[in-house]
């Protein structure tokens, strides 16, 4: 079974520029997550999708971050304009179901490393 795919793996941009990250979840997984991980900290949930609908985006800085999952499969996370403090790893993850039940596990991709200079 293929894992969660993310691209690009690494990105360096100047502040005030824009960047987009792409994620393809595990086949058949209805729930997709975007996490932000700043160096030395645990991952922080930014947004959660159930199919193509947003379940929770309370931690997403909506003035500069946006995310979509148009057909309920792939997802894109965009930052515009980027700030220095956005330097982090952006992790995409997916799970088969939204609710907690036995066997429901979240699987993570390798992450997209963003450096804003």
Which residues are near other proteins by CB under 8 A? 4, 31, 33, 40-45, 48, 55-56, 91, 93, 95, 97-100, 104-111
State which residue, 17 or 98, has the beta carbon closest to other proteins.
98
From the CB of 89, what's the least distance to other proteins, in Å? 8
Q: DSSP letters of 2-33? A: ---EEE-SEEEE-TT--EEEEEE--TT--EEE
State which residue, 17 or 52, has the beta carbon closest to other proteins.
52
Are the beta carbons of 33 and 94 closer than 8 angstroms?
A: yes
**Residue 114, number of CB atoms within 10 A of its CB:** 20
d(CA 8, CA 96): 24
From the CB of 32, what's the least distance to other proteins, in Å? 11
From the CB of 30, what's the least distance to other proteins, in Å? 11
**Residue 111, number of CB atoms within 10 A of its CB:** 20
State which residue, 24 or 31, has the beta carbon closest to other proteins.
31
State which residue, 22 or 98, has the beta carbon closest to other proteins.
98
From the CB of 69, what's the least distance to other proteins, in Å? 16
Distances, alpha carbon 2 to alpha carbons 21, 25, 116, in Å = 19, 9, 30
């Amino acid at each position: 079974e293929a894992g969660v795919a993310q691209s690009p793996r690494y990105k360096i941009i100047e502040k005030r520029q824009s960047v987009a990250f792409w994620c393809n979840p595990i086949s058949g997984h209805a729930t997709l997550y975007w996490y932000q991980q700043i160096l030395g900290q645990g991952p922080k949930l930014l947004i959660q999708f159930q199919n193509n609908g947003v379940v929770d985006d309370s931690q997403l800085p909506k003035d500069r971050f946006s995310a979509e999952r148009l057909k309920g499969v792939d997802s894109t996370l965009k930052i515009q304009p980027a700030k220095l403090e956005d330097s982090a790893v952006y992790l995409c993850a997916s799970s088969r179901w939204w609710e907690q039940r036995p066997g429901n596990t979240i699987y993570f991709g390798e992450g997209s490393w963003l450096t804003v200079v």
